[in-house]
Amino acid sequence: MRFLADENFPGLAVSELRTRGHDVVWILTDSPGISDEEVLARAKNENRVLLTFDKDFGELVFRAGKSASSGVILFRISAKSPDYVAETAARVLEHRDDWVGHFAVVEDTRVRLTKIPEKRF
């Protein structure tokens, strides 16, 4: 599966996911400073699921109606140390493969998946 890590996603987590065989592109290294709308458009154009800590993406998808057909995974975990994020992201991504077309919220003890309305594809 292909992922696009938002600028706020820890580099250690990006490296760990790559080590485990995931195709991850990181905004911080090749497009720093682009807008959230541009991040969503890039994820869609490149067929990548977005990995982020930024709650604004929920607003963009569900309230502003921005397209996010490739899917969004929002991490809302309590410990944000790079090691913990890397471990949590790797574990969660290895146990599911139904991210496309969904807005997922990853918490410490659960993952919530909401289908993105079709009109936002």
CATH number of residue 96's parent domain:
3.40.50
Give the residue from 98, 96, 49, 104 showing the smallest Cα distance to 74.
104
E strand map for 1-110: 2-5, 23-26, 49-52, 72-75, 102-106
Cα 74 to the center of its chain, rounded Å = 6
Cβ neighbour number for residue 91 with a 10 Å cutoff: 10
Relative orientation angle of helices 82-95 and 11-19, to the nearest 10 degrees: 40
What's the structural domain count of the chain? 1
> pLDDT tens digits, residue range 50-87?
999 999 999 999 999 888 889 999 999 988 788 999 99
Q: Which structural domain, as residue segments, surrounds residue 97?
A: 2-120
The pLDDT-based confidence of 120 (bands split at 50, 70, 90) is very low
